[in-house]
């Protein structure tokens, strides 16, 4: 498996061709994806057409995009003109958008070759990709285990060599957690750094567009190609986009790294504890100053998130009524009966559970007690981070409390929700955060180090992650799929 920057360098030197590489990836998808289940839709013809166009640019010495010829995949939650966008749900099984999401437009403008759309938990609600309406996705390191979720298809595609890079969404950890489970890099940028226009919404104040990659350099390339203000997205941040790749070489000497006490408590797998602490020691050896910090409201994060996110989901998913687009179940005696039949057949159990929770939290008499109170706690979580970042530049912690678990192992929703205990706080506050491979447990399963940064300071986050990556061997290990 070659990284995006290795591929584009080889294209420029004439050592490889975009068409040949695209064909290789498509062949690998055809050979392996029946077992891995990463893709819902493979866009073979479109991918080859984009690869031919990239190859022509290289041959003509024409201006090149930063991702020219690079094969990437998209979580099936981004609108793609002329290509179905299902969100992993029966209710959108036949939906074909008439336009591209801004993310898709920017990837095409950068020269990327889009291989297809990847599997996901339905409407991004899940932590294992077991809640897709269509298929299971398996972890390339152990096919009996989950790849994480909700962006599990994208993570598995990158880890398994079925894409050189990919995009997902991170609402409560849905890129960082699968990145940790699959042994790849997953970056959640600052809220609003990458446009959400054309992203099918789960929870609008929490959804982040986020890349997966094999290493930090590729992560910086993917972010640089897609970040920036978008007038079509009212939540898009109008701020300069730095040269993320140029910032990577700065190292960590002189930076202050905070280690939050609350992220190393009960429920953390001892092997993960040891691996993450060893990673922090590497940062110390590289010249960073390490100090303990406290984020006291961490313990309220999961409870707060599971009021706010379902409430926003309840509002966003109200549009799927069988009237305007998507599934319509016939036979209803009136409008209410038709809508009820459509949603009963079109939504899966986890989506129904969260919609009901959210509707309850927003209902008369309960709004102030639940949703209003949750938003106040969310503010307290943000203030905890502000206090910590007055003392340190970056926070270092585990990404997940456990390694990838087996399919069907966490049937209890509460046990599943606790997978995101360390990723939810950064999502609720909109802070940039990244998961970087930092070792393996005794069974050979990947472990992720999470780094959290100040708002819009992805450059420092990537700089620290790159220094750690270059000082350790973990990026060189890949799962063996034949």
Tell whether the torsion through CA atoms of 79, 80, 86 and 92 is positive or negative: positive
Q: How many CA atoms lie within 13 Å of 476's alpha carbon, on the beta-carbon side?
A: 4
Instruction: Indicate the pairing of strand 208-213 with strand 185-188.
Output: antiparallel
The DSSP string of 224-280 is HHHBS--TT-TT--------HHHHGGG-STT-EEEEEGGGGSTT--HHHHHHHHHHH
The yes-or-no verdict on residue 188 having pLDDT over 80 is: yes
Length of the chain equals 482
pLDDT band of residue 109 (cuts 50, 70, 90) is very high
Cβ neighbors of 63 (< 8 A, separation 6 or more) are: 57
Q: Averaged over 232-246, what is the pLDDT?
A: 97
Question: What angle in degrees, to the nearest 10, is found between the helix axes of 4-13 and 18-36?
Answer: 150
- CA-CA distance, 280 to 296, in Å (whole number)? 21
Q: What is the pLDDT of residue 391?
A: 97
Q: How many CB atoms lie within 10 A of CB 364?
A: 5
Burial 42-59 (b: 16+ CB within 10 A, else e): bbeebbbebbbbbbebbe
pLDDT band of residue 350 (cuts 50, 70, 90) is very high
Q: pLDDT tens, 263-316?
A: 998 899 999 999 999 999 999 999 999 999 999 999 999 999 999 999 999 999
- Is pTM beyond 0.95 here? yes
Domains annotated on the chain, with CATH: 4-257+391-476 (3.90.1300.10), 299-375 (no CATH)
The yes-or-no verdict on residue 157 having pLDDT over 80 is: yes
- CA-CA distance, 469 to 218, in Å (whole number)? 12
- 451 DSSP assignment: E
Q: What is the pLDDT of residue 412?
A: 84
User: Which residues carry out catalysis?
Assistant: 75, 150, 174
Q: What is the pLDDT of residue 126?
A: 96
The yes-or-no verdict on residue 482 having pLDDT over 90 is: no
361, 307 in Cβ contact below 8 A?
yes
The DSSP string of 286-316 is TT-EEEEE--GGGGGHHHHHHHHHHHHHHHH
Q: What is the pLDDT of residue 259?
A: 98
Q: What is the pLDDT of residue 253?
A: 96
Q: What is the pLDDT of residue 80?
A: 98
Asked if the bond preceding 215 is cis, omega within 30° of 0, the reply is: no
Q: How many CB atoms lie within 10 A of CB 234?
A: 10
- CA-CA distance, 465 to 451, in Å (whole number)? 8
Q: Averaged over 60-86, what is the pLDDT?
A: 98
- CA-CA distance, 80 to 404, in Å (whole number)? 31
Q: Averaged over 35-63, what is the pLDDT?
A: 98
Mean pLDDT for all residues in the chain:
97
The yes-or-no verdict on residue 419 having pLDDT over 90 is: no
Our CA angle for 141, 446, 103, nearest 5°, is: 85
Share of the chain above pLDDT 90, in %: 95
Q: Where is 42: in which H helix or E strand? A: strand 39-42
Q: Averaged over 391-404, what is the pLDDT?
A: 98
The yes-or-no verdict on residue 390 having pLDDT over 80 is: yes
Q: What is the pLDDT of residue 383?
A: 98
Strand order, beta sheet including 433-440: 39-42, 113-118, 71-75, 165-170, 208-213, 185-188, 433-440, 446-453, 394-398, 256-260, 289-293
Q: Averaged over 323-346, what is the pLDDT?
A: 93
Q: What is the pLDDT of residue 325?
A: 85
Q: Which residue has the tokens 């997953």?
A: 186
């Amino acid at each position: 498996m070659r990284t995006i920057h290795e591929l584009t360098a080889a294209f420029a030197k004439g050592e490889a061709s975009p068409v040949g590489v695209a064909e290789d990836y498509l062949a690998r998808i055809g050979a392996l994806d029946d077992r891995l289940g990463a893709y819902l839709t493979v866009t073979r013809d479109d991918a080859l057409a984009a690869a031919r166009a990239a190859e022509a640019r290289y041959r003509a010495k024409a201006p090149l995009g930063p991702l020219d010829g690079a094969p990437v995949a998209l979580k099936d939650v981004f609108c793609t003109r002329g290509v179905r966008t299902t969100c992993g749900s029966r209710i959108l099984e036949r939906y074909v958008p008439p336009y591209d999401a801004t993310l898709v437009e920017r990837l095409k403008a950068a020269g990327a070759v889009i291989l297809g759309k990847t599997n996901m938990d339905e409407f991004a609600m899940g932590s294992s990709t077991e809640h897709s309406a269509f298929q299971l996705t398996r972890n390339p390191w152990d096919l009996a285990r989950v790849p994480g979720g909700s962006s599990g298809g994208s993570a598995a595609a990158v880890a398994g060599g079925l894409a050189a890079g990919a995009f997902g969404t991170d609402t409560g950890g849905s890129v960082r957690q699968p990145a940790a489970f699959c042994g790849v890099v997953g970056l959640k940028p600052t809220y609003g750094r990458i446009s959400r226009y054309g992203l099918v919404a789960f929870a609008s104040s929490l959804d982040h567009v986020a890349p997966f990659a094999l290493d930090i350099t590729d992560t910086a390339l993917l972010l640089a190609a897609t970040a920036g203000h978008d007038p079509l997205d009212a939540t898009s941040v109008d701020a300069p986009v730095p040269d993320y790749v140029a910032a990577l070489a700065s190292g960590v000497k002189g930076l202050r790294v905070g280690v939050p006490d609350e992220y190393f408590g009960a429920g953390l797998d001892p092997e993960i504890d040891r691996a993450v602490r060893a990673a922090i020691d590497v940062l110390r050896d590289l010249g960073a100053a390490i100090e303990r910090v406290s984020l006291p409201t961490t313990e309220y994060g999961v409870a707060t998130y599971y009021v706010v996110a379902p409430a926003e989901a309840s509002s966003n998913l109200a549009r799927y009524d069988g009237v305007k687009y998507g599934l319509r179940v016939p036979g209803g005696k009136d409008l209410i009966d038709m809508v009820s039949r459509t949603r009963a057949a079109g939504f899966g159990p986890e989506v129904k559970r969260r919609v009901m929770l959210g509707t309850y939290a927003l209902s008369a008499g309960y709004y102030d007690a639940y949703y209003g109170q949750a938003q106040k706690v969310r503010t307290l979580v943000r203030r905890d981070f502000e206090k910590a970042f007055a003392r340190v530049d970056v926070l270092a912690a585990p990404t997940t409390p456990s390694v990838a678990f087996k399919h069907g192992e966490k049937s209890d929703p509460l046990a599943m929700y606790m997978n995101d205990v360390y990723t939810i706080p950064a999502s609720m506050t909109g802070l940039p955060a990244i998961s970087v491979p930092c070792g393996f447990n005794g069974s050979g399963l990947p472990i992720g180090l999470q780094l959290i940064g100040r708002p819009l300071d992805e450059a420092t986050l990537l700089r620290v992650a790159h220094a750690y990556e270059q000082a350790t061997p973990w990026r060189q290990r890949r799962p063996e799929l034949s």
